[in-house]
A and B are shown apart, each in its own frame.
Chain A
């Protein structure tokens, strides 16, 4: 693969999805795009790029799918779910009247393990919720990974990573070699396609946003833009959770840490630009 092709792939994925790839990732590009080339009967990455650059939207979506990372598992990293149970829900319940619906957004949900983990956790917390409804919205840029999430079908490896066996028995049915999560759990999640580079204002206001292990793939200006978009979509007393290797520090002034737990991020209003006072000369 020559340098020009690598550069065109880097430009494509940066513009389409905001993902930063560097020229030393040629092996990654090759490994991710080779299966797509075979499936589409295309000889080279250059041939694929020519079609995508000429406006082939189907191939463009498939190329984004191939170059995005969908690593996820049930109750990933555990701690954010402990914070959700022990800090976020108790605080929201205290502040929200009984009839108020809580809204949660899993941005970049991949194959659905995160929102499905939240459904199972919320079931455990049913008594604590005091009859409050909870909406779970889950988005991803990849149509194919969303289709997998909506199917609710997981293989044997997937159901063993992070998922306690008692929850496997409670929520899943064996389906051949795979496991099918209860259709009721799938129904309780609103899956939709969303590119984090796009304006999220149509999505409404959320009480909690999970945006974990995705911002590591973006450059700093893009992260700042996404943080601002999320801050605008959060209730003033809402919460954002990031991945273990992610931080708002030095990227945005739109979040501060929760007083009890620095991993929980609380939105701040945008800072107003300084206003010039008329009639005063500045030396």
Chain B
């Protein structure tokens, strides 16, 4: 089963994403911020990461930069999932090593489409 880590400080978003991604046959792990996500990736590197941008302690951009330098950190497909919807943020995320970008709010079709785009659906 493909393992996806959902990283978002909102428990509501984590719950919605979990429900959608479990429906797409993903195994789900959760983290509330970038620091917790790094700890989770150190323990078990996921196949995919759904990643929020604005989070306390370590934001999504800093997490991604750190992740990509970790052993095995180049492997997970990273889909940014954030309220930031301007071209500058999207370009910065893609340049920093994200594989896809979801603008909130999202629905099942959008998440399925993005995970299909990165070859995981």
A residues adjacent to B (C-beta < 8 A): 73, 78, 156-157, 160-162, 164-166, 168-169, 173-174
The CA of A169 and the CA of B106, in the complex, are separated in Å by 19
> A160 contacts B94, CB within 8 Å?
no
The CA of A156 and the CA of B85, in the complex, are separated in Å by 9
* Given contacts A160-B102, A174-B86, A174-B87, A165 and B113 within 8 Å (CB-CB): no
The CA of A164 and the CA of B102, in the complex, are separated in Å by 10
Q: Which of B85, B90, B94, B113 contacts A161 (CB 8 A)?
A: B113
- B114–chain A nearest beta-carbon distance, Å: 7
Provide a sorted-by-A list of 19 A–B residue pairs whose CB atoms are within 8 angstroms. A73-B113, A160-B103, A160-B106, A160-B113, A160-B114, A161-B109, A162-B113, A164-B100, A164-B117, A165-B90, A165-B100, A166-B94, A168-B90, A168-B101, A169-B90, A169-B91, A169-B94, A174-B85, A174-B87
- Closest A residue to B91 using CB positions: A169
B contact face: mostly helix, strand, loop, or mixed: helix
Q: Which of B77-104 contact A (CB under 8 A)?
A: 85-87, 90-91, 94, 100-103
Q: Determine the chain B residues whose CB is within 8 A of the CB of A174 once the complex forms.
A: 85-87
B residues adjacent to A (C-beta < 8 A): 85-87, 90-91, 94, 100-103, 106-107, 109-110, 113-114, 116-117
* Given contacts A160-B113, A160-B114, A165 and B94 within 8 Å (CB-CB): yes
> B87 contacts A169, CB within 8 Å?
yes
Please list the 9 inter-chain residue pairs (A to B) with the smallest Cβ-Cβ separation, ordered nearest first. A165-B101, A160-B110, A164-B117, A161-B113, A162-B113, A165-B100, A156-B103, A174-B87, A161-B109
The CA of A162 and the CA of B111, in the complex, are separated in Å by 10
Q: Determine the chain A residues whose CB is within 8 A of the CB of B91 once the complex forms.
A: 169
Q: Determine the chain A residues whose CB is within 8 A of the CB of B117 once the complex forms.
A: 164-165
The CA of A166 and the CA of B101, in the complex, are separated in Å by 9
Q: Determine the chain A residues whose CB is within 8 A of the CB of B102 once the complex forms.
A: 160
Given pairs A78-B116, A160-B114, A169-B91, 9 additional interface contacts (CB within 8 A)? A73-B113, A156-B85, A156-B103, A157-B107, A161-B109, A162-B113, A166-B94, A174-B85, A174-B87
The CA of A157 and the CA of B106, in the complex, are separated in Å by 7
Q: Determine the chain B residues whose CB is within 8 A of the CB of A169 once the complex forms.
A: 87, 90-91, 94
- B104–chain A nearest beta-carbon distance, Å: 9
- B88–chain A nearest beta-carbon distance, Å: 10
Q: Determine the chain B residues whose CB is within 8 A of the CB of A160 once the complex forms.
A: 102-103, 106, 110, 113-114
Q: Determine the chain B residues whose CB is within 8 A of the CB of A173 once the complex forms.
A: 87
- B44–chain A nearest beta-carbon distance, Å: 27
- Closest A residue to B104 using CB positions: A156
Q: Determine the chain B residues whose CB is within 8 A of the CB of A165 once the complex forms.
A: 90, 94, 100-101, 117
Q: Determine the chain B residues whose CB is within 8 A of the CB of A78 once the complex forms.
A: 116
The CA of A114 and the CA of B116, in the complex, are separated in Å by 18
The CA of A164 and the CA of B86, in the complex, are separated in Å by 16
> B90 contacts A157, CB within 8 Å?
no
- A52–chain B nearest beta-carbon distance, Å: 34
Q: Determine the chain A residues whose CB is within 8 A of the CB of B101 once the complex forms.
A: 165, 168
The CA of A236 and the CA of B86, in the complex, are separated in Å by 47
- B90–chain A nearest beta-carbon distance, Å: 6
